C-alpha cells in the first residue's frame, strides 16, 4: 500500500524550495550558494519591471472581411504591431451579418473592435465599435500609407505606450466628443499591460481638416523633443455614428459625406460632358463650312484709282530659238564664240 500524502506536504515542499530575495536591511553572506547553505538548484527570480497592477483590461479585436487588398492587410498588421493590447482573428465572410462580430468579440474576450470592410475590391470602410452595447462609428478610409511604404526615418520601441493628441475641434462638437472618447479607449495602451513597455516614445495625432479626421504617428526624439513621422497614416471620412454595436439607431450622419460610387459617377459625367461639348463644337464648324457664302455687292469706288496698262502687240515666234551650250569654263565659251564669228565672216566674204 502506498503511503498517503498529506494535503499540505506538496505546498510545504514548494515553499521550502522557493526563497525570496533578501531585503535591504538583511546582510548577504559572502561566497557561493553552497557556502551560504543554499542547494545548487535554487535561484532567486528578479522582480518585474513594473510593479503596478493591470486594472484597465481593454482588449481590441482587429480583423477584416474577405476581399481586402495588400495595402489594407499591411495597415491592419501595422495597427496590431503598434497596439500590444490587440488581438487577431480570421477573415470574416462577406455573406455574414455584421452583428455576428459581437459574438466573435465575446469569444475572443475583447470589448473593443476595429473591423475593416472591403467592397468592390477598391473601397475600404472601417468600423470602430464598443462591443456589445455600443456606440459604433463607420468611416471611409482614404489615402492609406503603411510603415514599409513611407520609408521614414522615425522608429519606436515595440509595445511602448503612445500619447494621444487631439484637435481642439473635438471638444466643440458633440459627435466629435463621442469619437474622441472612442479613440481614447481603443488606441491608448492600458497601463501595466503585460505586453507593453513602461515608457512613452511616440504620439498618435487626430486632426480634423476638410471635414475628415487625419491620423498620424510621430516619434518623440529625446535630444530636442522634436517629432519625426513613423507611420502608418490614413484619413477617416465619417459616415454615421450608431447607438448600438454595428447597427441600431443613427446618432449622427455626416451631411458632407459623398459615397465613392457617387464620386466616380460625377467624374464619368464630367468627362462625358467635355466630350459632348467637343462634338457640338465640331458640328457647328461643319455647318458653317457647308453654309452658303454671303455675296458682297461690288463697290463702285474700287476702280477709281486703277490705271489701265498699255496694250502691247502680240508677237508669235515661229522659229525655234537656238539652244545655248552650257559651258562652265569661260575660256571654252570664248573660243566657241570666236569660231562662230569666223564662220560668219567667211560666209559674208
Which one has a higher pLDDT value, 28 or 339? Answer: 339
Mean pLDDT across the chain, nearest whole number? Answer: 82
Kindly state whether residue 19 falls inside one of the protein's structural domains: no
Percent of the chain with pLDDT over 70: 83
Q: Can you give the pLDDT at residue 128?
A: 94
Structural domain contains residue 227: yes
Q: How far apart are CA 184 and CA 117, in angstroms?
A: 22
| 204 belongs to a structural domain | yes
User: Has residue 138 been placed in a domain?
Assistant: yes
pLDDT at residue 57 tops 90: no
pLDDT range class, residue 344, cuts 50, 70, 90: confident
The whole-angstrom separation of Cα 223 and Cα 308 is 99
The answer to the question of residue 284 being in a domain is no
pTM: 0.65
| pLDDT at position 27 | 47
Q: Kindly state the greatest CA–CA separation across the chain.
A: 175
Q: What percent of the chain has pLDDT over 90?
A: 45
Q: Which residues of 6-21 are buried (b: 16+ CB within 10 A; e: fewer)?
A: eeeeeeeeeeeeeeee
pLDDT value of residue 224: 77
Task: Give the mean model confidence (pLDDT) for residues 82-110.
Answer: 90
Q: What is the pLDDT of residues 59-81, one digit of tens each?
A: 999 999 998 999 999 999 999 99
CATH code of the domain in which 118 resides: 3.40.50.10480
**Domain total of the chain:** 1
Question: Considering the domain boundaries, does residue 309 fall inside one?
Answer: no
pLDDT at residue 30 tops 90: no
Q: Is 277 inside a domain boundary?
A: no
Q: Which domain holds residue 75?
A: 60-262
311 domain-assigned: no
Amino acid at each position: 500500500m502506498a503511503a498517503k500524502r498529506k494535503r499540505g506536504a506538496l505546498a510545504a515542499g514548494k515553499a521550502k524550495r522557493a526563497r525570496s530575495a533578501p531585503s535591504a536591511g538583511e546582510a548577504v553572506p559572502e561566497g557561493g550558494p553552497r557556502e551560504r547553505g543554499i542547494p545548487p538548484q535554487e535561484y532567486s527570480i528578479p522582480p518585474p519591471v513594473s510593479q503596478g497592477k493591470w486594472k484597465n483590461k481593454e482588449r481590441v479585436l482587429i480583423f477584416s472581411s474577405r476581399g481586402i487588398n495588400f495595402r489594407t492587410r499591411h495597415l491592419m498588421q501595422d495597427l496590431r504591431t503598434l497596439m500590444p493590447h490587440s488581438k487577431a482573428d480570421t477573415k470574416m465572410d462577406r455573406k455574414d451579418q455584421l452583428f455576428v462580430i459581437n459574438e466573435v468579440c465575446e469569444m475572443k474576450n475583447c470589448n473593443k473592435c476595429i473591423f475593416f470592410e472591403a467592397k468592390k475590391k477598391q473601397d475600404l470602410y472601417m468600423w470602430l465599435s464598443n462591443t456589445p452595447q455600443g456606440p459604433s462609428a463607420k468611416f471611409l478610409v482614404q489615402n492609406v500609407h503603411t510603415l514599409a511604404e513611407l520609408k521614414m526615418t522615425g522608429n519606436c520601441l515595440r509595445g511602448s505606450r503612445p500619447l494621444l493628441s487631439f484637435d481642439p475641434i473635438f471638444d466643440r462638437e458633440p459627435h466629435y466628443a463621442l469619437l474622441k472618447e472612442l479613440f481614447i479607449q481603443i488606441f491608448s495602451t492600458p497601463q501595466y499591460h503585460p505586453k507593453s513597455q513602461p515608457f512613452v516614445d511616440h504620439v498618435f495625432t487626430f486632426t480634423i481638416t476638410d471635414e475628415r479626421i487625419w491620423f498620424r504617428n510621430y516619434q518623440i526624439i529625446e535630444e530636442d523633443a522634436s517629432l519625426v513621422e513613423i507611420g502608418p497614416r490614413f484619413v477617416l471620412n465619417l459616415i454615421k455614428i450608431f447607438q448600438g454595436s454595428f447597427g441600431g439607431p443613427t446618432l449622427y450622419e455626416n451631411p458632407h459625406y459623398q459615397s465613392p460610387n457617387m464620386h466616380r459617377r460625377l467624374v464619368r459625367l464630367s468627362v462625358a460632358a467635355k466630350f459632348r461639348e467637343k462634338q457640338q463644337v465640331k458640328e457647328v464648324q461643319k455647318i458653317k463650312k457647308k453654309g452658303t457664302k454671303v455675296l458682297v455687292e461690288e463697290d463702285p469706288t474700287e476702280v477709281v484709282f486703277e490705271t489701265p496698262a498699255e496694250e502691247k502687240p502680240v508677237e508669235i515666234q515661229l522659229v525655234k530659238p537656238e539652244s545655248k551650250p552650257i559651258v562652265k569654263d569661260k575660256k571654252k565659251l570664248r573660243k566657241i564664240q570666236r569660231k562662230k564669228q569666223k564662220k560668219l565672216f567667211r560666209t559674208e566674204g
